[in-house]
Amino acid sequence: TQLLEQSPQFLSIQEGENLTVYCNSSSVFSSLQWYRQEPGEGPVLLVTVVTGGEVKKLKRLTFQFGDARKDSSLHITAAQTGDTGLYLCAGWPSYGKLTFGQGTILTVHP
Amino acid sequence: GAVVSQHPSRVICKSGTSVKIECRSLDFQATTMFWYRQFPKQSLMLMATSNEGSKATYEQGVEKDKFLINHASLTLSTLTVTSAHPEDSSFYICSASWTGVGNTIYFGEGSWLTVV
């Protein structure tokens, strides 16, 4: 059983479209991070969310942490080809060890 | 921000030999580091948790005698793939835990291992 369910697994869109990636769990997380990874490189941290209901914005990216700290979402507005990559959520459940979502492979077509 | 450096970025070795990959936290002390393996277009698979000054904790199914982990200092952990086989070829990534706000994990750049 996957502790942190990330969806969708694959996403192929046209430049300019909006998209949302979800990470859901039945467990409470003390914090949750989102990363972006390009092929052949290590994941790069985008944001850390720690407070239930928290919303953070990073240019065209909006991150939300659920009120109950069991879920999170990443929304990208007006996607660009440079947004293409693997997006990962990861977090520390209140009881347990570091957990990763399955990843979302985003392809933005020109 | 916090930086984790991994070396080498690419390595090719012959079957039966051993190869060492280093992971360094450059601007913070990391009592805990993590080693992952990643297959193409997949998420990260945690192999082991490296604890400074003590034995590593391996995930189920990971051979501890094959993947030797040493965390000798607060800024360095090493992964040694012993008696490498072609099926060990993969992308290996390390990360270090920064015990600041959110207990954020920072990743190294990754190391491509090719066993021929």
- A97 in B contact zone (CB under 8 Å): yes
- A41 in B contact zone (CB under 8 Å): yes
Give CA–CA dist A70/A79, Å, rounded.
26
For residue B101, pLDDT over 60 is answered with no
Q: Find which of B57, B89, B105 to mutate to test the A interface (most A CBs within 10 Å of its CB).
A: B105
Alpha carbon distance, N-terminus to C-terminus of chain B: 37
Give CA–CA dist A85/A91, Å, rounded.
20
Chain A residue with minimum CA distance to B97: A98
Q: Residues of A with CB below 8 A from B105's CB?
A: 33, 45, 90, 98
Q: Which of A37, A40, A41 is nearest to A85 (CA)?
A: A37
Chain B residue with minimum CA distance to A103: B43
Q: Find which of A11, A29, A45 to mutate to test the B interface (most B CBs within 10 Å of its CB).
A: A45
CB contact under 8 A, A90 and B105: yes
- Tokens (6 digits) for A27: 């467990």
CB contact under 8 A, B102 and A97: no
pLDDT on residue B13: 96
Give CA–CA dist B40/B35, Å, rounded.
17
Q: Is A13 helix (H, G, I), strand (E, B) or coil?
A: strand
Q: Residues of A with CB below 8 A from B37's CB?
A: none
Q: Which of A41, A45, A88 sits opposite B43 (nearest CB)?
A: A88
Å between B103 CA and nearest CA of chain A: 7
The predicted-structure confidence for B24-65, as pLDDT tens digits, reads as follows 999 888 878 999 999 887 888 889 998 888 889 999 999 999
The predicted-structure confidence for B10-22, as pLDDT tens digits, reads as follows 999 999 999 999 9
pLDDT in 10s for each residue of chain A, 110 residues: 558 999 999 999 999 999 999 999 999 998 899 999 998 899 999 999 999 999 999 999 999 999 999 999 999 999 999 999 999 999 888 777 778 898 999 999 99
